[in-house]
Every structure is written in C-alpha cells, then in structure tokens.
Amino acid sequence: MKKLNELQDLIIDGVNQLNYPDQPAELYEPIRYILSLGGKRLRPALLLMACDLFGGDVEAAVKPALAIEVFHNFTLMHDDIMDNAPLRRGNVTVHEKWNTNIAILSGDVMMVEANKLMMLVQDNILRSVLDIFNETAQGVCEGQQFDMNFEQDDRVSIDEYLNMIRLKTAVLLGGALKIGALIGGADQENAEKLYQFGVNLGVAFQLQDDILDVYGDPEKFGKQVGGDIISNKKTYLLLKALELADSDQKQQLLQWIAATGFNTTEKVAAVTALYNSIQVRQHAETAMNTYAEIAFKALDAITLPEDRKQYLHNFADGLMVRDY
C-alpha cells in the first residue's frame, strides 16, 4: 500500500501538469490560482487509496482523482462568493482578487474540467463512475443550500443538521472512495461499502470539528477557538444545547445569541460553561463515535484480507484522534 505522502505527491504533480488554454486569461488564471493554494489534497488522495486498496494501478487513477480536487475547488470558489469570504487558505479569494463575475464563470468552467477529467476511466466503468460523480455533485450543492438556509432558520433540528453536513462534506469523501474502488477493480458491493465508510467517517470528522472549535487546544487548533460560538454557528453543540437546556439555560443561551457589542472572550467562556453544564460535549462525542463505528463496520465488511484494509483503518484512526 502506498503511503499518504506518496499519493499526495502524485496529486501535486498532477495538479502542476494540468493544462488549460491561455485565453481567455480571466477564465483560466483563477483556476490555476485556486489550485495553487495547496491544501491537504485529502479527497483525491482518498480516491487513490481506494484504488490502491483493491490492487488497482494508482497512476491510472490520478486524472479522476484530479477531477475530485478540481470539483472541490470549484465548490470552494462559488462558496466563497456566497459566504462573502475575503480569504481562502490565507490568500485572497478569487472574487476579491478578480471579481464576482469571474469567480462565477471560472467556477463553471472548473466543473466542466472536472467532468472531463472524470471521464478518463475505462469504458466498462464510465457510466458507474459518472453516476456517482453527478450524485455527489448534486449532494454537495444541496448541502451548501441547506447550510445557507440554516443561517436564517431558528428551528433547525439535529437530524437536519446531520443531513446537511453529510451532504456538504461527507458525500464527497464517500464518492471519492467509491470511484477509486471501482477504478481499482472493486465490485459494486465492496465499492458501496467503501462509500458508506467514507460518508460516515466524514460526518464523524465534521462532528469532531464542531467539538474542537470549542474544546480544542488553542496552541494546536488552526482556527480561533470559540469561533463558532462567537458567530452563533448552528453546530451540533449549539443545537443539542438548545434541545437539552432547561428554561433558565435556554434563556441565557438565547441572550448570548441575540447579544451585540459583546466581549468575545466573555461570550465564549459563558457559552462554553453552559455547554459544560448541559454536557453537550459528551453528546457530541457519542454521536461522533457512533458514526465512526458505522464507518469502521462498513470497512470491516469489505471482502479483502484484513492486512490490506489495515492502512485505511489506521489512516481513519489518525483522522479521528486529533487531540487539538
């Protein structure tokens, strides 16, 4: 089995070798730019890992893996417009560096490029692969819309939230793994199990992110601890807290949500104290562990020798034990 850094190197080489026309420059420069901003290339690496898992030729899977990376960056380019985000990976976003129109149209053409790259698979799996890709792409769009809706919605349920993160984040991990599996020669049944592994792991991973945003070590966590609390983001923790709070706790929570001109340190401390007394961290960890267990059960059910699956198992363990 190839290690993550070998796979990431294949992706990085592949990204560097992607060719676009020179003209119109306004269309293709932003694509080169956003793809040059780096990132962990986790999604395409997962595609290659899945291919490798079933003994497939990893080199032959690089183009479809790049399709996943180009698609992912297309969604980031459009999401950044919608979220009015000034920065992406510490760099100016495309709509800020150029303008919104260019970010819309470059994103559109990235989606076409992603489709073209995804077609570079053998004929016998072309339809299956594109079906998964289209289903995944549609899910990601739905997830983004739900996420935007939730900002304005005061009655989001935990189930609705879990469905949103499944669509917005998790199905792309599952889709990348399933496509990689098919390229590697897996049958539909094993490929579907790997999809379930990816989707459930993705939900667990996002729940972990919600927990770390509040309880992460400020020294190790990449973002500002408490950022979700400051912005009233409807995370699993906040939704669970609102669900379980007694009337006094609920009133305090709602007051902090409605507050303007607050001291951020004070708000983070107060809401975290409420979370502690309601024990939402434990609830979130239980939910996270449940999704992780479902993921690992799906991986266990794949009909391959245990030692072949060990690497992916260890890798997923690694993703889930971030202590920061």
Interface ranges with a second copy (CB under 8 A): 21, 23-24, 26-27, 78, 81-82, 100-102, 104-105, 107-109, 111-113, 115-116, 119, 123, 126-127, 130-131, 134, 137-138, 141-142, 144-146, 148-149
Contact partners, residue 202, CB within 8 Å, separation at least 6: 165, 166, 169, 170, 171, 172, 173, 174
Contact in structure between 308 and 1 (CB atoms under 8 Å): yes
Between 107 and 184, CB nearer to a second copy: 107
- Smallest distance, Å, CB 68 to a second copy? 15
- Smallest distance, Å, CB 141 to a second copy? 4
For residue 92, list its beta bridge partners: 87
Diameter of the chain measured on Cα atoms: 62
- Smallest distance, Å, CB 72 to a second copy? 13
- Smallest distance, Å, CB 124 to a second copy? 9
Query: Which residue from 114, 6, 113, 12 is spatially nearest to 51, judged by alpha carbons?
Result: 6
Between 141 and 257, CB nearer to a second copy: 141
- Smallest distance, Å, CB 35 to a second copy? 17
First vs last C-alpha separation in the chain = 28
Between 138 and 286, CB nearer to a second copy: 138
The Cα–Cα gap between 299 and 220 comes to: 30
Between 114 and 229, CB nearer to a second copy: 114
Encoded tokens for 217: 């070590």
The Cα–Cα gap between 305 and 296 comes to: 15
Between 21 and 261, CB nearer to a second copy: 21
Between 8 and 163, CB nearer to a second copy: 163
- Give the per-residue SS3 of 237-301: HHHHHHHHCCHHHHHHHHHHHHCCCCCHHHHHHHHHHHHHHHCHHHHHHHHHHHHHHHHHHHHHC
Query: Which residue from 58, 64, 8, 62 is spatially nearest to 38, judged by alpha carbons?
Result: 8
Between 126 and 244, CB nearer to a second copy: 126
Q: What is the CA radius of gyration of the chain?
A: 21
- Smallest distance, Å, CB 142 to a second copy? 6
- Smallest distance, Å, CB 63 to a second copy? 14
Contact in structure between 93 and 85 (CB atoms under 8 Å): yes
